[in-house]
Amino acid sequence: MLEIRGLAAAINEKPILKGIDLTVPDGEVHAIMGPNGSGKSTLGYVLSGREDYAVTAGSATFNGIDLLDMEPEARAAAGLFLAFQAPIELPGVNNANFLRTALNAIRRSRGESELDAVQFLKLARAEAKRLAMPDDMLKRNVNVGFSGGEKKRNEVLQMALLRPKLAILDETDSGLDIDALKIVADGVNALRGPEFSALVITHHQRLLDHLVPNRVHVLLNGQIVRSGGPELAKELEKRGYGDLIAEAA
Amino acid sequence: MAADTETLDTVQSVTQSGYKWGFETDIEMDIAPKGLNEDIIRLISSRKQEPEWMLAWRLKAFAAWQAMQEPQWARVEHPPIDYQELHYYAAPKKKSDGPKSLDEVDPALLAMYEKLGIPLKERAILAGVDPDSVENRQVAVDAVFDSVSVATTFQETLRKAGVIFCPISEAIREYPDLVQQYLGTVVPVGDNFFAALNSAVFTDGSFVFIPRGVRCPMELSTYFRINTRNTGQFERTLIIAEERSYVSYLEGCTAPQRDENQLHAAVVELVAMDDAQIKYSTVQNWYPGDAEGKGGIYNFVTKRGACRGARSKISWTQVETGSAITWKYPSCVLQGEDSVGEFYSVAVTNSHQQADTGTKMIHVGRGSRSTIVSKGISAGKSNNTYRGLVRMLPGAANARNYTQCDSLLIGDQCGAHTVPYIESRNPTAKVEHEATTSKIAEDQLFYCRQRGLSEEDAVGLIVNGFCKDVLKELPMEFAVEAQKLLAVSLEGSVG
């Protein structure tokens, strides 16, 4: 269970998050919506431990462990995964090699045995196939020369392989066509279960048609201003954020 | 808890001193008195039972050296070197006339090479390689300990193929005509200060001769080890590839960890005739000094290959991670028509290391081509300079060069410098130069760490990616070793 209490964070001393309270029980998928610049991506970065953000107040625990006190790799080992809005390119680093290094680091931390190249490739190829990714994506350099859609699918492939307990998807649906969108949603749905929870940051209702959330939260100017069921997303799709912005003002 | 164990592991990996080859071996040595003069040169020559012409050659070099000044143009700094404070000869004491076979080599020496992971037993080495996939892959090794070669393996097998692979001191005695014909023809005795010094006092090194039409049946390699205190190591390597022959040669080097600096001034000469190919790979891992810049090897080396024949090819691949100071420019003189020169380099500097390294491609022949790929990585307070010369002479019609120099900075206290010299005296020759400088981006590190990689592993992965174009040129066994070495050299460089 993810529990966020009064979380405030700033970048270059500019406050972005201004007191977030949010609880995501195990097994649930929560959507975070809100206009540009409201702090959605910041929330993902702060939870996963990006150094440029300073936490100025509040707490965030996952299954009782204080996330904010841990190095990013320790948070990953604890089961947290961030699908990046703009996945990073690693020139010269083979995608399969990167994925295997990451998977083995996570497996080591769980006390599981490491996979050799043959075992890994078998697993990775099967997952890639399920995500309708061509095999050669494993051979290419990490995100280098990938189209926008390929980068997003590569994030979902990593998530499928690492099997996190808490996934944060930062606009993984943006820039995807309908088919790709469905593949991404299926990728997350396949992981759903009593020990998996997710925060899905999105601008669009259409992802939530395929990936139905338990709760929807609206983030506005660094605070959660409205929470509700899946119908809230549909309402926002129709009416926009205008009313909420007016209410908050 | 996971976080604690991880931290402990990281601390351990950083504090367990990065240099794993720093031990000293206790061997009874025959050491010449300190200092350099004609008597010392005569002593070296007599210890080596050299013919008169060799002594005369050395003395000529010594005279040239005395008239020369240490070069000052490199971007390196060090206190003056007192050449009279060094030993110029140090050899393990021989029990009789020297070992006739491996069984007679001092067991302490064999144990040392075992510890370094260098196989002096005649068996295939297969580090990191699936034994089934590479059948009978063997590497012949010449092991040079301080001033002398202590063992050369697989000599018999090679002799059957017509290949000569032996210590150069043995070649001077056994194959004087060959040595006289080629020695000093690529790097003349008075070429530069350190080459002249080497020519006067070199004690051992490898000699390779590949006859016409022969493809050398195995990789040849030399492992250099400096052990004795206050000893300079001056090895000399000469490789001759006759028409249509091929050889791949590797060298590796290590030294004990010491507080004072030690001098290593080697000369390597390569000669390739028509359609011959020489592939020369180096993994240089001399002791770099400690984190404060104390101690370490001064690696002042002259390496040059002559592509004398048409369509001949010489490739230099180097991974330079060690040494306090590196001053080294493996070069090609492309005399033959359509001859090819290549230089692939990774130079890593950390702490207070200084590297001024690069290449010279001298295009003489028509249609000669050269490729330079240099990857410099600086971390800590180190300085890393690429210095390269591409010269197109009037006869080099349609010659081409392509140069790519990339620098990677880790942290904000290191320096990277690129100094390309381009001279073209033929209007049809084409020279291309590309250079980039980048920092390991915070977002790349964060991306890797978010996926569970430690900071050190993330740096290793990014750096290996950066060097990939060079590492793929190395023979397989060396590529594995080089990747590990890169990671070790950069331990503790971030955070």
Please choose, from the candidates B115, B226, B122, the residue with its C-alpha nearest in 3D space to the C-alpha of residue B165. Answer: B122
Name, in order, each residue with C-beta under 8 angstroms of B58's C-beta and a sequence gap of 6 or more: B41, B44, B45, B199, B200, B201
Q: Do B450 and A81 touch (CB under 8 A)?
A: yes
Mutation target among A90, A95, A97 for the B interface, most CBs of B within 10 A: A90
Tokens of B203: 């004690």
Tokens of A207: 């992802």
**Nearest by CB to B2, which of A78, A90, A98?**
A78
Residue of B nearest to A162 (CA): B451
Q: Do A90 and B447 touch (CB under 8 A)?
A: yes
Q: How far is B242 from chain A (nearest CA, A)?
A: 37
- Report the percentage of chain A scoring pLDDT > 70: 100
A90 chain-B contacts, CB cut-off 8 A: 444, 447-448, 461-462, 465
- Residue by residue, DSSP assigns A136-181 as HHHHSEETTT--HHHHHHHHHHHHHHH--SEEEEESTTTT--HHHH
A117 chain-B contacts, CB cut-off 8 A: none
- Residue by residue, DSSP assigns A35-67 as -TTSSHHHHHHHHHT-TTEEEEEEEEEETTEEG
C-beta atoms surrounding A66 within 10 Å: 11
Name, in order, each residue with C-beta under 8 angstroms of B274's C-beta and a sequence gap of 6 or more: B243, B244, B309, B310, B311, B312, B336
- Residue by residue, DSSP assigns A9-36 as EEETTEEEEEEEEEEE-TT-EEEEE--T
B130 to chain A, any CB pair closer than 8 A? The answer is: no
User: Is residue B16 over pLDDT 80?
Assistant: no
Q: Do B466 and A74 touch (CB under 8 A)?
A: no
B30 to chain A, any CB pair closer than 8 A? The answer is: no
Strand partners of residue A167: A81, A198
Tokens of A3: 């529990």
Give the number of A-B residue pairs with CB atoms closer than 8 Å. 90
**Nearest by CB to A109, which of B7, B441, B452?**
B452
pLDDT band at B381 (very low <50, low <70, confident <90, very high): confident
CB of B242 within 8 A of CB of B277? no
Mutation target among A51, A93, A161, A165 for the B interface, most CBs of B within 10 A: A93
Number of H helices, E strands in chain B: 12, 23
Number of H helices, E strands in chain A: 10, 12
Please choose, from the candidates B177, B184, B209, B185, the residue with its C-alpha nearest in 3D space to the C-alpha of residue B199. Answer: B184
Please choose, from the candidates B297, B146, B296, B155, the residue with its C-alpha nearest in 3D space to the C-alpha of residue B228. Answer: B146
Tokens of B474: 């190395």
Place of tokens 């060090």: B78
B449 to chain A, any CB pair closer than 8 A? The answer is: yes
At A81 the pLDDT is 97
Q: Classify residue B72 as exposed, middle or buried by CB count within 10 Å of its CB (0-12, 13-18, 19+).
A: exposed
- Residue by residue, DSSP assigns B186-208 as SS-TTSSHHHHHHHHH--B-EEE
Residues 238-297 of B with CB under 8 A from A: none
- What is the rounded distance in angstroms from the CA atom of residue A166 to the CA atom of residue A78? 9
User: Is residue B142 over pLDDT 70?
Assistant: yes
At B124 the pLDDT is 37
B446 to chain A, any CB pair closer than 8 A? The answer is: yes
Q: How far is B305 from chain A (nearest CA, A)?
A: 30
Q: Do A105 and B453 touch (CB under 8 A)?
A: yes
Burial profile A192-214: b = 16 or more Cβ within 10 angstroms, e = fewer: eeeebbbbbbbbebbbbebbebe
Lowest mean pLDDT among A125-134, B245-254, B273-282, B468-477: B468-477
Q: Do A109 and B2 touch (CB under 8 A)?
A: yes
User: Which domains are present in chain A?
Assistant: 2-248 (3.40.50.300)
Sheet-wide strand order for A2-11: A14-24, A2-11, A53-62, A65-66
Mean pLDDT, rounded, for A176-196:
89
Mean pLDDT, rounded, for B89-117:
60
B9 to chain A, any CB pair closer than 8 A? The answer is: no
* Residue ranges per structural domain of chain B: 31-489
User: Is residue A65 over pLDDT 70?
Assistant: yes
Mean pLDDT, chain A, rounded, equals 92
Q: Do B451 and A105 touch (CB under 8 A)?
A: yes
User: Is residue A187 over pLDDT 80?
Assistant: yes
At B7 the pLDDT is 38
Residue of A nearest to B455 (CA): A73
Mean pLDDT, rounded, for A88-111:
91
Mean pLDDT, chain B, rounded, equals 82
Strand partners of residue A66: A61
User: Is residue B115 over pLDDT 80?
Assistant: no
Q: Do A71 and B446 touch (CB under 8 A)?
A: no
CB of B231 within 8 A of CB of B87? yes
- Residue by residue, DSSP assigns B78-134 as -PPP-GGGSBS-EEEPPSSS--SSGGGS-HHHHHHHHHTT---SSS---TTS-TTTS
Tokens of B102: 């491996």
Dihedral sign computed on CA atoms, order A45, A51, A55, A59 = positive
Q: How far is A53 from chain B (nearest CA, A)?
A: 12
Tokens of B115: 């510890």
A50 chain-B contacts, CB cut-off 8 A: 446
**Nearest by CB to A93, which of B454, B465, B469?**
B465
**Nearest by CB to A82, which of B450, B462, B466?**
B450
Dihedral sign computed on CA atoms, order B10, B15, B16, B20 = positive
Q: How far is CA B78 from the centre of its chain?
A: 21
Tokens of B322: 């060690």
Determine which helix (DSSP H) or strand (DSSP E) holds B331, and give its type and residue range: strand B331-334
Tokens of B292: 């404060």
Q: Do B451 and A162 touch (CB under 8 A)?
A: yes
CB of A103 within 8 A of CB of A76? no
Q: How far is CA B492 from the centre of its chain?
A: 25
A102 chain-B contacts, CB cut-off 8 A: 448, 451-453
A105 chain-B contacts, CB cut-off 8 A: 451-454, 457
Q: What's the one-letter identity of residue B486? A: L
Q: Do B465 and A141 touch (CB under 8 A)?
A: yes
Tokens of B454: 């430690």
**Nearest by CB to B452, which of A90, A91, A106?**
A106
B464 to chain A, any CB pair closer than 8 A? The answer is: yes
Mean pLDDT, rounded, for A205-216:
92
At B199 the pLDDT is 95
Residue of A nearest to B442 (CA): A51
Lowest mean pLDDT among A21-30, B123-132, B194-203, B281-290: B123-132
Residues 426-445 of B with CB under 8 A from A: 441-444
At A245 the pLDDT is 83
By three-state DSSP, how is residue B339 classified? coil
- B30-82 pLDDT, tens digit per residue, is 777 888 899 989 998 998 899 999 999 999 999 999 999 988 888 888 888 88
Q: How far is A237 from chain B (nearest CA, A)?
A: 32
At B93 the pLDDT is 65
A93 chain-B contacts, CB cut-off 8 A: 461-462, 464-465
**Nearest by CB to B465, which of A84, A90, A106?**
A90
Q: Do B457 and A48 touch (CB under 8 A)?
A: no
Q: How far is A112 from chain B (nearest CA, A)?
A: 14
Mutation target among A12, A41, A62, A73 for the B interface, most CBs of B within 10 A: A73
Determine which helix (DSSP H) or strand (DSSP E) holds B30, and give its type and residue range: strand B29-31
- Report the percentage of chain B scoring pLDDT > 70: 79
Determine which helix (DSSP H) or strand (DSSP E) holds B357, and give its type and residue range: strand B354-363
ipTM computed for the complex? 0.95
- B449-462 pLDDT, tens digit per residue, is 999 998 888 888 88
- A137-160 pLDDT, tens digit per residue, is 888 999 999 988 889 989 999 999
Q: Do B451 and A88 touch (CB under 8 A)?
A: no
- What is the rounded distance in angstroms from the CA atom of residue A211 to the CA atom of residue A214? 10
